[in-house]
C-alpha cells in the first residue's frame, strides 16, 4: 500500500475517532479545537480552546503558501518543520528540487526562519545530487518573510 494512501487511511480513522469522542467532556479538554465549558454567574458559557502553535503562525502560513506548488512530505507546526517532496518543473524535467523550512521562533523575525534547498539532476535513469545556488534559499526566505509581513499586517487590522 502506498504511503499516501496509508496517510489518508490513518487520517480518516483519526477523524472518525475524534468525532466519536466529541461528546466526551475529557476529550473536549485535551483535543485541540474542542469545547471547554466554564461557568460564570451560574450561566454556562462555552469557549473554543484554540491550540497554540510552537512557532510563529505568520511564518508558518507564509511558508506553506510560498511552497504550495511543491508536494508536501511532512509538516510539524509544533516543531516548526516543513519538508517538501521533490518537485520537477515541466519546463525542466531533468532537474528536481526539494525544500526544508525550519521556523525557529515564535516571533516574526528574519532570523527565525531557515530554508534549505536540495537539487537533483537526472543522470540516465537515476537522480544525482547537485549543488544549488546559494541565492536560491535566500530568495525563498525573503519571499516567505514578505508574505508573513503581509499576513501580519492583514491580521492586525481586525
Residue 40 reports pLDDT greater than 60: no
Mean pLDDT of 30-36: 41
Phi/psi zone of residue 80: left (φ > 0), alpha (ψ -120 to 50 degrees), beta? Answer: left
* Residue-range domain boundaries for the chain: 3-48, 57-156
Please give the share of the chain, as a percent, with pLDDT higher than 90. 62
Is the Cβ–Cβ distance between 101 and 63 less than 8 Å? yes
The dotted CATH code for 57-156 is 3.30.530
Residues ≥6 apart with Cβ < 8 Å to 60: 53, 77, 80, 82, 103
Planar angle of CA 43, 51, 4, nearest 5 degrees = 135
Predicted confidence (pLDDT) per residue in 107-125, tens digit: 999 999 999 999 999 999 9
Predicted confidence (pLDDT) per residue in 57-92, tens digit: 999 999 999 999 999 999 999 999 999 999 999 999
Residue 49 reports pLDDT greater than 50: yes
Predicted confidence (pLDDT) per residue in 127-152, tens digit: 999 999 989 999 999 999 999 999 99
Amino acid at each position: 500500500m502506498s504511503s499516501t494512501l496509508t496517510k489518508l487511511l490513518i487520517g480518516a480513522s483519526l477523524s472518525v475517532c475524534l468525532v466519536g469522542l466529541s461528546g466526551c467532556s475529557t476529550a473536549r479538554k485535551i483535543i485541540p479545537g474542542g469545547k471547554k465549558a466554564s461557568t460564570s454567574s451560574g450561566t454556562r458559557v462555552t469557549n473554543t480552546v484554540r491550540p497554540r502553535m510552537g512557532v510563529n503562525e505568520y511564518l508558518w502560513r507564509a511558508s506553506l503558501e510560498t511552497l504550495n506548488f511543491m508536494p508536501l512530505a511532512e509538516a510539524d507546526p509544533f516543531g516548526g518543520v516543513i519538508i517538501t517532496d521533490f518537485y520537477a518543473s515541466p519546463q525542466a524535467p531533468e532537474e528536481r528540487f526539494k525544500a526544508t523550512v525550519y521556523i525557529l521562533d515564535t516571533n516574526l523575525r528574519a532570523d527565525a526562519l531557515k530554508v534549505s534547498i536540495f537539487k537533483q539532476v537526472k543522470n540516465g535513469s537515476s537522480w544525482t545530487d547537485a549543488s544549488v545556488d546559494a541565492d536560491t534559499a535566500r530568495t525563498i526566505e525573503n519571499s516567505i518573510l514578505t508574505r508573513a509581513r503581509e499576513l501580519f499586517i492583514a491580521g492586525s487590522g481586525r
